[in-house]
Amino acid sequence: MSTIAVELAGITKRFPGVVANHDIDLAVRKGTVHALVGENGAGKSTLMKILYGMQKPDEGTITVDGEQVVFNSPADAIARGIGMVHQHFMLADNLTVLENVVLGSEKLHGIGGGARRRINEISDRYGLGVRPDVLVEDLGVADRQRVEILKVLYRGARTLILDEPTAVLVPQEVDALFRNLRELKAEGLSVIFISHKLGEVLSVADDITVIRRGTTVGTAVPSETTPRQLAELMVGSELPTPETAESTVTDKPVIQVRGLTVHAGGGAASDRLTEPAGAAASAGPGLPAGDTAGADGTRRVLDDITFTIHAGEVLGIAGVEGNGQSELIAALIGLKRADSGSITFLGQDVTGWSTRRLRELGIGYIPEDRQRQGLLLESPLWENRILGHVTERPNAKGFWLDPKGAQEDTRRIVEEFDVRTPGIDVTAASLSGGNQQKLIVGREMSHDPKFLIAAHPTRGVDVGAQAQIWDRIREARRAGLAVLLISADLDELIGLSDTLRVIYNGRLVADADPATITAQELGSAMTGAVSGHLEHVEESTDNATDAAAEDEAR
Ligand SMILES: Nc1ncnc2c1ncn2[C@@H]1O[C@H](COP(=O)(O)OP(=O)(O)OP(=O)(O)O)[C@@H](O)[C@H]1O
């Protein structure tokens, strides 16, 4: 019997103007975690889409369990024991775990007792702790991920592809995921793990394949490799750190938020950047149980949020996803109306202003979900350059759009932010994930915002591009930019922030000192346990009130 679970040999895949994969070889041993690393646009996702039957290679072969196979669809790949857990979870919120798992696979074990038994069996076997009858909307990010893993195991996967699975997890959750992966290995299953976090790669992988510009440049043995060496192999540069040495915080308030409260389901405006507030009403995403109830009985997804960010200051908000961050961002950029409270920008009350007006005032926005909120996927890059900045230079001259100006400036962004693309006329959808992110960051930084809302600004970007984005944010901060930073990357959050606060159940519950707190401690604070490095909210509310009084006095 073969000890190789999956082998890809001589894989080549061409797109117009790009060779995404060029003669790539990858052999995944049974019972191992095999990491796939490489800079943005290196060709990792394309290779995995080929293995999962989503794309057909132009050349090369796929061998599973010693037998050569041809996949025409994911169904073919699943039938041969290949499973994929995507970065964006694909679960239906309003269904139970059981319903989500059996959906589309009713033939395997039915939809009743048999299915429930099988789910419990898999969950116990791999230590996943998944319960079949809970609603998916009541689950946090880490649990949802475990449901996705269980779903592919239920379909008989023996090789699991995990695409940047740790990007959304806090350190404790990463540890738990890695324990699950060890259980899978112990049962002889294999995992292909794509990640830009090189420390994690070295701690969990048995084998590492590095690809660069579409081709295999080498393999690394984790026990004999340092993160720095791996970074050099990948991008030819050293590993950056996000640390911000000197403080640039001034006493000039840029954004002042006072008592901001938003109830569930109320005041939603729109997802898109370009539309005015008040377009449509839809329920906000679910929150963990135990949310505070408003006076009228509805849940408060944001509860009495108060803070000030000064020119030259980065305020980092730490929290497990789903604790009000999305609503806070939406309220600040005019996509959600506040039920009470106020937002003041450079001394002007902007509460209830539309997204367009806020952007024109100088608020930049790097959204959480780049594909849904930050890009028009089927439009060319240069049209995406215009998105959210329709009336501004270089996209417009007076009342008229200036396509030439936008196109020229898109070329500049592509160059300056190292967006890997054959040209500015290709669609945003054809860029790799990290390159889409670089385009958005480039666009937003190009308008010299005075206040930047940055949600996961380096999610999915490689270590080289990450350093570049950090540099740009620091440079603008020196020049007086105020930043609200939300990030699941706790090293980034601690390293870039001047001030750190923890959000939990829609409230700012604690302050942390970025100079002394560790990622581990911050992770504990986010999940509820409070360590000695944190100040409780009572004190910080006083501080905030003092700050407000000072601001007013000025
Ligand atoms: N459908 C497509 N049409 C055209 N070009 C594509 C398409 N899919 C991928 N590409 C191109 O293929 C190359 C490899 O992209 P891929 O998404 O595989 O990179 P990646 O290594 O996964 O990057 P990242 O780390 O940013 O996710 C890129 O240059 C990308 O623009």
Single pTM value for the model: 0.82
Range of the domain at 224: 4-235
Q: Are 12 and 21 in contact (CB under 8 A)?
A: yes
The ligand 1 atom nearest the CA atom of 436: 26
- Check whether residue 179 and residue 49 sit in a common domain: yes
Q: Is-cis flag, bond preceding 394, omega within 30?
A: yes
Give all strands (DSSP E) within 398-554, no chain letters. 400-401, 451-455, 482-486, 499-504, 507-512, 534-536
In a domain, 243, yes or no: no
Number of H helices, E strands in the chain: 18, 23
In a domain, 11, yes or no: yes
Ligand 1 site, residue 324, Cβ cutoff 6 A: no
**φ and ψ of 7, to 5 deg:** -135, 130
- Check whether residue 265 and residue 406 sit in a common domain: no
Nearest CA to ligand 1 atom 1: 430
Q: Which of 183, 203, 235 is the last residue of a domain?
A: 235
In a domain, 247, yes or no: no
In a domain, 68, yes or no: yes
For residue 185, the CA-to-ligand 1 centroid distance in Å is 29
Give all strands (DSSP E) within 330-474, no chain letters. 340-345, 348-349, 363-366, 396-397, 400-401, 451-455
In a domain, 135, yes or no: yes
Return contacts of 179-183, CB within 8 angstroms, 24+ apart.
Answer: 179/127, 180/126, 180/127, 180/128, 180/146, 180/149, 181/33, 183/125, 183/126, 183/127
The ligand 1 atom nearest the CA atom of 46: 18
In a domain, 242, yes or no: no
Q: 69 Cβ partners below 8 Å, 6+ apart? A: 62, 63, 76, 80
- Check whether residue 119 and residue 183 sit in a common domain: yes
- Check whether residue 105 and residue 119 sit in a common domain: yes
- Check whether residue 353 and residue 374 sit in a common domain: no
The ligand 1 atom nearest the CA atom of 462: 25
- Check whether residue 436 and residue 462 sit in a common domain: no
Nearest CA to ligand 1 atom 3: 430
Q: Which of 404, 432, 448 is the last residue of a domain?
A: 448
Cβ atoms within 10 Å of 9's Cβ, excluding its own: 15
DSSP secondary structure code for residue 30 in this structure: T
Q: How many residues does this entry show for the chain?
A: 554
For residue 150, the CA-to-ligand 1 centroid distance in Å is 28
Span 281-336, pLDDT tens digits: 232 333 333 344 545 557 788 999 999 999 999 999 999 888 899 999 999 999 88
For residue 20, the CA-to-ligand 1 centroid distance in Å is 6
Distance CA 485, CA 316 (A): 5
The predicted structure's pLDDT at residue 260: 95
- Check whether residue 462 and residue 411 sit in a common domain: no
In a domain, 517, yes or no: yes
For residue 459, the CA-to-ligand 1 centroid distance in Å is 16
Ligand 1 site, residue 334, Cβ cutoff 6 A: no
Which two tokens mark 205?
């992988």
Burial class (CB in 10 A: 0-12, 13-18, 19+), 96: middle
The predicted structure's pLDDT at residue 50: 97
Structural domains counted in the chain: 3
For residue 419, the CA-to-ligand 1 centroid distance in Å is 11
- Check whether residue 217 and residue 335 sit in a common domain: no
The predicted structure's pLDDT at residue 531: 46
Ligand 1 site, residue 435, Cβ cutoff 6 A: yes
The gap from C-alpha 268 to its chain's centroid, in whole angstroms, comes to: 22
Q: Are 27 and 4 in contact (CB under 8 A)?
A: yes
Which two tokens mark 300?
């408060």
Helix (H, G, I), strand (E, B) or coil at 468: helix
Q: Which of 235, 267, 290 is the last residue of a domain?
A: 235
For residue 24, the CA-to-ligand 1 centroid distance in Å is 15
Nearest CA to ligand 1 atom 10: 430
Ligand 1 site, residue 375, Cβ cutoff 6 A: no
Ligand 1 site, residue 420, Cβ cutoff 6 A: yes
**List of the chain residues with pLDDT < 50:** 268-292, 294, 531, 537-554
Q: Longest Cα pair distance anywhere in the chain, in angstroms?
A: 78
For residue 200, the CA-to-ligand 1 centroid distance in Å is 23
Alpha helices by DSSP H, listed for 417-456, are 433-445
Ligand 1 site, residue 464, Cβ cutoff 6 A: no
**φ and ψ of 416, to 5 deg:** -70, -35
Nearest CA to ligand 1 atom 24: 40
Burial class (CB in 10 A: 0-12, 13-18, 19+), 254: buried
What proportions of the chain, in percent to the nearest 5, are helix, strand and coil? 35, 25, 40
Distance CA 500, CA 502 (A): 7
In a domain, 352, yes or no: yes
- Check whether residue 497 and residue 434 sit in a common domain: no
- Check whether residue 354 and residue 485 sit in a common domain: yes
Ligand 1 site, residue 24, Cβ cutoff 6 A: no
The structure tokens 């080929």 sit at 50
- Check whether residue 435 and residue 518 sit in a common domain: no
Nearest CA to ligand 1 atom 7: 430
- Check whether residue 66 and residue 190 sit in a common domain: yes
Helix (H, G, I), strand (E, B) or coil at 521: helix
CATH of the domain at 341: 3.40.50.300
